[in-house]
Amino acid sequence: MNKKLIAIDLDGTTLNQQSKITSKTQRVFQKAKEAGHIISIATGRPYRNSKYYYSQLKMDTPMINFNGALCHLPNETSWSDQYHKTISRELAIDMLDLKKDFDIQLIAAELLDTVYADEDFLPYPDFFPNGQQDTQKLSAANLKSDPTSVCVFTAQENQELIINKIIQRYGDLVEVRTWGGQTPCLEIVSAGVQKALGVERVASVYGIKQQDIVAFGDEDNDYEMIQYAGHGVVMQNGIKALKDIANDITEKTNEEDGLALYLENYLGLA
């Protein structure tokens, strides 16, 4: 079998419902690496609250964060193939107006290692770096730099209306993606940004052909990655729109080691 680039989403895919990586998944990933395959995380999460998983899996490969807005090699700031795409601070501040029309728990502007939030709402335990003590208030006076993304936390039933409003207001300037599993999030990034952008960069670094890319995902923000990969696999618990374009679907959910079992069989690791 040719060397594969295995691109893995985190929430709803690699992680179970408790946001944990099981020992089964760790063992299968280790076997895949020993067989010569490359595993790369591609997540909507910022690096600050996904680096724990990178370390847990003992990775040394490039990582894709913010739905493809950042592709980097953790712990190596001089990596020549890194890229980082941002949106304008003015647009980020303007997003606060969404609260006038919609029930939104939190709007947060994400920088590489800092987050500016308009409320004290905590989406999930590790969302804020060092807890909420170092978090700065999202306002025109405080936010001085262009953020990587803006996260809007709201109930799932509000998402479509808010997405339509964002597209109506900002047109071709942004992309809007959903992620978060149990904690629904709309993430707004620069136009053209999606996970496939990062996966393509990682593949080029290792000389992996598109046909040898295997990607796993479950939500809207995985769409382009699943479509781009030579073999796109959607979790049993994934959304229908993704299953409709997938090459295959896991038999089990993320709560049942679906990714690990599929990969074990696909790569002949059992």
pLDDT, averaged across the chain: 93
Residue 132 pLDDT: 61
Q: Active-site residue 101, yes or no? A: no
Nearest to 67 by CA among 161, 174, 208: 174
Query: Which residues, listed in sequence order, are joined to residue 115 by a DSSP beta bridge?
Result: 110
Whether 131 shows a pLDDT value over 70: the answer reads: no
d(CA 87, CA 58): 32
Active-site choice (9, 218, 222, 257): 9
pTM, two decimal places = 0.89
pLDDT at site 27: 98
Q: Specify the pairing of strand 149-153 against strand 115-117.
A: unpaired
The pLDDT score that the predictor gives to residue 181 is 66
177-181, 183-187, 205-209, 252-256: segment of lowest average pLDDT: 177-181
pLDDT at position 135: 76
Q: Does 213 score more than 80 pLDDT?
A: yes
The answer to whether 196 touches 68, Cβ cutoff 8 Å, is: yes
CB 269 within 8 A of CB 35: yes
Question: Please, which pLDDT band fits residue 202 given cuts at 50, 70 and 90?
Answer: very high
pLDDT tops 80 at residue 128 = no
Residue 33 has pLDDT above 70, yes or no: yes
- Output the pLDDT for position 124: 73
% of the chain residues with pLDDT over 90: 82
Residue 69, pLDDT > 90, answer: yes
Name residue, tokens 């895919």: 13
CA distance 179 to 84: 20
70 SS3 class: strand
Contact between 162 and 154 under an 8 Å Cβ cutoff? The reply is: yes
Cβ neighbours of residue 20 closer than 8 Å, sequence gap 6 or more: none
Q: What is the mean pLDDT of residues 36-62?
A: 95
- For residues 82-86, give the mean pLDDT: 97
pLDDT above 70: residue 38: yes
Residue with token string 């990607």: 215
Q: Tell me what the mean pLDDT of segment 94-114 comes to.
A: 93
**Residue 136 pLDDT > 90:** no
- What pLDDT, on a 0 to 100 scale, did the predictor assign at position 110? 92
Residue 168's φ and ψ, nearest 5 degrees, are: -60, -40
pLDDT class for 129, splitting at 50, 70, 90?
low
